A and B are shown apart, each in its own frame.
Chain A
């Protein structure tokens, strides 16, 4: 028996006249070598007899190979007792070849995949609409009877999704306004209008970028957390346990998250707007030589109150949708834990997609309304 530290097993085939003999270890590591040389050696002889007396080690793949030889009429001599037991076991197994999974040709797969994903997208849309309805009714229910609103749970959600997100969202807002500022200066300078970079940064941060960056960040951070939290509860039957104990998972799990995020996202957006303006001040000082005091004055003239409200107005809507999509995918988890990961990915992608599509629609709408 080889112990660790010893060399890899070796095998040799020797022939005395018409007799072949195996010597050494016939196991999964030496099997391929033996197969190649032994088949040739056996072909050259009429009678097949194989002596196994010097075989010191045999494992199941080796035994399976010997069984195959036995079926072809090769006789074994000098089989050791311990090898005999193994050969009996392995040769006695009823072996059928593994079933191959059916596979369609590539072009057909493409078409079926296309159809399947279209069907899924359609059902997904229906599911989202249905779930938005259920969530709205659950939230409305809770608002009508404020007692059923779980305040501790809501405040924990606000802490988890809002306060802990402040550093990263502030940083992102500063970075984005720096990016916009640099591009603005570079593009406007040839026309002598680089001063308008301040307007560009202030207006685009407040109307669009502030809320968009915040919503995308929250979708990635909190939307995914909602799916994972609820998904794990679902996979461990905790959601069923709630149902059995007469507690509504919608009221207990979904409503606090939705209400929490609807409160949090506008606040985060406001914070991100402020940080965006701070970033704008930095870029104005560095690139335009405009001091912070002058900057504030310029921003006051560039901005209207409606710019701020257009941005903040969108935030609760985005918050609602991110929370609803996160919770919906969490409750969709079936069976094992691997579907949690899949649903989390879907929730984040869908939330960000919905946020951006809605933002584009809002842009058009506000343009038409003249806001």
Chain B
């Protein structure tokens, strides 16, 4: 887990010619996408463009109709459960915290399942993960039903980080949050990527997240994907991408980007 921002020449996750179909409706038409170690990749696209399906395909929860996903050169289906737990952390859109377990038990669950650490050590680590995700130790005893939207996301973050995965997949990490809380989540993503060296893949249509946090963008339009840096994609002539990255909301996000980058 070496924190590094420089890209490896070889991608750690590589999707090849992915086709996804639901009934007669085709969602993805031969999509290829590479994810490099240490980067923060933002996957954007309109509602119903298949962002979440792509994310599920990448982590092996959804089997594509054709095409394959390679993780470190190995098909994602061939990765064992324990290995996968150390490799992937996923933050689901609604948090997907187990509602019968307390927040601390939620975070501890992967450790209990996959490590042989003594219970008190697991508790110390859980307290650390909660603090890392910006939650106080007192939150640990609460049940997911008692948390606010922002706290649910943070608790789910802590659980996704439980085993220090290589790659963190975030499905709409800032949706349904007020701008201040969303800003806090953005900062958390950047910090985790910087300090822990975890590769992050964010599926979102939050322009501020895309503009300020992500090092590369992938935009799903018309069943295809366009990948590039923000500057490259802003020059794209595809009408939807142009509108998406130049519209009035994008102007605000651009200002936020200048602001955050200006502050270092």
Contact = CB atoms under 8 A, between A and B. Distances in A.
B3, B12, B104: most-surrounded residue (chain A CB, <10 A) = B3
A64 B99 contact: no
Interface string A203-230: 0000000000000000000000000000
Interface in B60-86: 71-74, 79, 83, 86
Interface stretch (A25-33, A239-247, A263-271): A25-33
Contacts of B79: 4
B128 interface: yes
B76 to A, nearest CB: 9
Nearest to B100: A338
Given A5-B74, A98-B104, A93 B116 contact: no
B195 A27 contact: no
A96 B72 contact: no
Nearest to A93: B131
Contacts of B86: 29
A297 interface: no
Contact of A95 (B121, B128, B141, B161): B128
Contact of B163 (A28, A82, A100): A28
Contacts of B71: 3-4
B196 A29 contact: no
Given A89-B195, A97-B127, A5 B4 contact: no
B136 interface: yes
A336 B127 contact: no
A57 interface: yes
A60 B129 contact: yes
B115 interface: yes
Nearest to A86: B195
Interface in A76-97: 80, 82-83, 85-86, 88-90, 93-97
Contacts of B2: 1, 56-57, 80, 82
Given A60-B161, A97-B123, A101-B141, A32 B116 contact: yes
B145 A98 contact: no
A31 B128 CA distance: 15
B128 A90 contact: yes
Contacts of B73: 3, 5
A98 B137 contact: yes
A93 B196 CA distance: 14
A28 B166 CA distance: 13
B124 interface: yes
B125 A98 contact: no
Nearest to B126: A98
Given A28-B115, A85-B194, A98 B123 contact: yes
B37 interface: yes
A86 B3 contact: yes
Interface string B153-178: 00000000101101000000000000
A73 B83 CA distance: 36
A345 to B, nearest CB: 14
Contacts of B124: 64, 95, 97
A80 B111 CA distance: 27
A60 B164 contact: yes
Contact of B1 (A59, A64, A96, A101): A59
Contacts of A86: 1, 3, 195-197
Interface in A21-47: 27-29, 31-32, 35
B255 interface: no
Contact of B140 (A28, A57, A93, A98): A98
B164 A4 contact: no
B196 A59 contact: yes
B138 interface: yes
Contacts of A101: 102, 141
B115 A29 contact: yes
A103 to B, nearest CB: 12
Nearest to B124: A64
A-B pairs, 7 with minimum CB distance = A3-B72, A59-B164, A82-B3, A96-B137, A93-B131, A89-B195, A98-B140
11 contacts: A27-B1, A27-B164, A57-B2, A64-B128, A83-B3, A86-B3, A90-B132, A96-B136, A97-B123, A97-B127, A98-B127
Given A60-B128, A97-B137, A98-B123, 12 more contacts: A1-B166, A27-B164, A28-B115, A28-B117, A29-B86, A32-B115, A32-B118, A35-B121, A60-B132, A64-B128, A86-B195, A98-B104
